[in-house]
Amino acid sequence: MTDASNYYVTAYYRFTKLADLPAIQKALEDKAEELNVKGLVILGEEGFNSTCAASSVESFEAWKSFIREFFNSPDQFFKDSESEKSPFRRFKVKVRSEIVTTGIPGVMPPEGVNHHLTPTEWNRVMKEESDYVMIDTRNWYEYKIGTFKGALNPNIEKFTEFPQYIEAQGIPKDKKMLIFCTGGIRCEKGILELQDKGYNNVFQLDGGILNYMKEYPNDQFEGECFVFDHRVAVDQNLKPTTKFGLCPHCGQPSTIKIECKRCDAHELICEDCIKVEYAKDTCSKNCAYQLEKHPARKGKKQVVPFEIEKMAAEGKDPSELPTIRVTRTKYISMNPRGEAETVSEKKNP
Ligand SMILES: [Zn+2]
Ligand SMILES: [Zn+2]
């Protein structure tokens, strides 16, 4: 670990049957407070899925030891990274029916590994074999900023659409299929769904893209990897992106710099919203709305919850700013009359 980093971040999950979730929640909260660990744990009867951060190596290691012991998981796999800023402001446990949202609760992967390829094996297949299909199981806006060479983009917005997509492709049931996601957990369920439908030659990338890039930066994965915290995306060296922001109008990765005509804030807008009247000149949905109503009037910047986390991590005080909600997977498109419309799904042109 390098000296420049102030925070040690780890992502980990496990499918395992859990009972008495309130007691587990309490134990995790107590330990996190004791060690001053921040982060998020999704807890369900099917297991846990978490990313946590600590500011010292000692509490970071103590937290991981605690997780191994508490969940009786001595071989627990942790994906570690570093950040100069804390990705989290607090520690939170959320109890959910699914620990990764797929829309198919109750499908529980077996304990242990099910058709996993290590990053090394994954690379070997990509470089030496040709008779396979590789599919990105993530959402369209994640695919857009980076993916594996030659990977297909199902263009899905919800994971429940994934099995239908595969069937619609007419891929033979015995075709070798390689699937991947950000951290591996989504594929644990994806592979079960596919096996259930008779695809018996499916493999998933162990630990996902993050694990792959840790071992093989600048190799078969091209671009950056979208992550679900204030970093937005990480580059090939798993460092927070310096290129992408989150478009305040639609939530997809954005790179076009603008200065808001209402509040003068600097913001990054995506290539779709830059074509949309009022969105193209504003830093938020609210500023777009206000600019349209009162074109000459200036106003205060509004922030989304995501930005509050980021500002707090940077030591700024966001408490005076009003907040708005942003839907992260909605997409703005132009209808034939040239008006902006919010749609829930984006299709390939
Ligand atoms: Zn946008
Ligand atoms: Zn603004």
Task: Indicate whether 52 pLDDT > 50.
Answer: yes
Q: Considering the domain boundaries, does residue 240 fall inside one?
A: no
* 125 and 223 both lie in a single domain: yes
Please name which ligand lies nearest the alpha carbon of 267.
Answer: 2
CA–centroid distance, 252 to ligand 2, in Å, is 18
Least confident of 112-121, 233-242, 315-324: 315-324
Distance CA 258, CA 266 (A): 6
Mean pLDDT, all residues of the chain: 84
- Indicate whether 163 and 272 sit together in one domain: no
pLDDT of residue 190: 85
Q: Let me know whether 134 and 60 are in one domain.
A: no
**Are 179 and 123 found together in one domain?**
yes
Catalytic residue check, 283: no
Helix boundaries (H) for 224-293: 285-293
Q: Which residues have a Cβ under 8 Å from the Cβ of 83 and sit 6 or more positions away?
A: 5, 6, 7, 9, 53, 231, 240
Looking at per-residue confidence, does 338 or 84 come out higher?
84
We report the CATH number of the domain holding residue 138 as 3.40.250.10
How many angstroms is it from 232 CA to the middle of ligand 2? Answer: 20
* Separation of CA 151 and ligand 2 centre (Å): 37
Structural domains counted in the chain: 3
- Residue 30: which domain range? 7-95
What is the model's pLDDT at position 201? 93
Q: How far apart are CA 221 and CA 145, in angstroms?
A: 11
d(CA 86, CA 312): 9
Residue at which a domain ends, from 209, 233, 257: 233
Which residues have CB atoms below 5 A from the ion given as ligand 2? 260, 262-263, 265, 283, 287
**CA distance linking residue 179 with residue 332, whole number of Å:** 29
Structure tokens at 342: 């919010």
* C-alpha 247 to ligand 1 mean position (Å): 5
329 and 258 in a common domain: yes
3-class secondary-structure state, position 201 = coil
pTM to 2 decimal places: 0.76
What are the tens digits of pLDDT across the range 171-218? 899 999 999 999 898 888 888 888 888 898 999 999 999 999 999 999
Catalytic residue among 181, 225, 270, 283, which? 181
Residues 120 and 227 occupy one common structural domain: yes
Same domain, 121 and 209: yes
